[in-house]
Amino acid sequence: MLNYVTTNPGKVREAESYLRDGTVAQLDFDYTEIQAAELAPIAARGAREAYRAADGPVLVDDAGLFIEALDGFPGPYSSYVEDTLGVERVWDISRDLDDRRSAFRCTLAYCDGEAFAASPDPVDRGDRVAAAATGPSDRNAADTDAEEEADADATLPVKLFEGYVPGRIVAPRGDGGFGYDPIFEHGDETFAEMDTERKNAVSHRGRALEKFAEWYADR
């Protein structure tokens, strides 16, 4: 059984629907989200912290909405922006943009404490991600115990799987999905107008899960 690490039941629903029944179980663990311009270092560090907490294999799911004309805002800060501004106000900010192209990205970070065999897959880049996640060596002492521990095992191997889906920001439509789904249109529908299976077939998370499932089958 694999721990799918998230506080978000919407993500778990999609992962359970995509992967075989019983492959994953939610681990409701709020890992430390470091500030970073990309999702990968956040997810990699979260996976190391969660692995220690779970004492077993973990898959961390970090995702975000990137609006092109806003230089990728809210990106890695999507969760904070949803909690503070809310999805309706992200639409308000976007409605007058000439270009409302945007994308969802999802990074899955897997850690089971073991090393991975060499692979041509460019997403296996533990060292670079570890360096980015650990930050400059002369920074202040770690603020929390969790940070200290995360620094201590920054070499713990993590395998990353990334998914991306293009779309555009629109006025809210639909009552399915979660988060920014009502304002994200792909094709003719918003993600909130699709059921879980349809969203998974095209979404950032579905694409990342597809890569993960293929790799995990051999593990």
Question: Shortest Cβ distance from residue 6 to ligand ITT (Å)?
Answer: 3
- Asked if 198 contacts 181 with a C-beta cutoff of 8 angstroms, the reply is no
Strands 73-74 and 58-67: antiparallel
185 binds ligand ITT (CB under 6 A): no
CA distance 134 to 149: 11
164 binds ligand ITT (CB under 6 A): no
Q: Which stretch binds ligand ITT (CB under 6 A): 6-14, 123-131, 145-153, 210-218?
A: 6-14
Residues whose CB is less than 8 angstroms from the CB of residue 128 and which lie 6 or more positions away in sequence, other chains included: none
For residues 5 and 132, which CB has a smaller minimum distance to ligand ITT in the complex? 5
Q: What residues pair up with 210 in beta bridges, in sequence order?
A: none
82 binds ligand ITT (CB under 6 A): yes
The correct pick among 8, 26, 32, 196 for binding ligand ITT (CB under 6 A) is: 8
Q: Hey, which residues between 93 and 132 contact ligand ITT (CB under 6 A)? A: 104
Q: Which of 62, 112, 124, 151 is catalytic?
A: 62
Say whether the peptide bond before residue 74 is cis (omega within 30 degrees of 0).
Answer: yes
- Asked if 48 contacts 111 with a C-beta cutoff of 8 angstroms, the reply is yes
205 binds ligand ITT (CB under 6 A): yes
CA distance 169 to 101: 7
For residues 78 and 102, which CB has a smaller minimum distance to ligand ITT in the complex? 78
Q: Which of 47, 45, 41, 42 is nearest to 59 (CA)?
A: 47
The correct pick among 191, 207, 209, 212 for binding ligand ITT (CB under 6 A) is: 191
2 binds ligand ITT (CB under 6 A): no
Encoded tokens for 60: 């961390």
Is 62 annotated as catalytic?
yes
The correct pick among 2, 3, 4, 6 for binding ligand ITT (CB under 6 A) is: 6
User: Which amino acids are annotated catalytic?
Assistant: 62
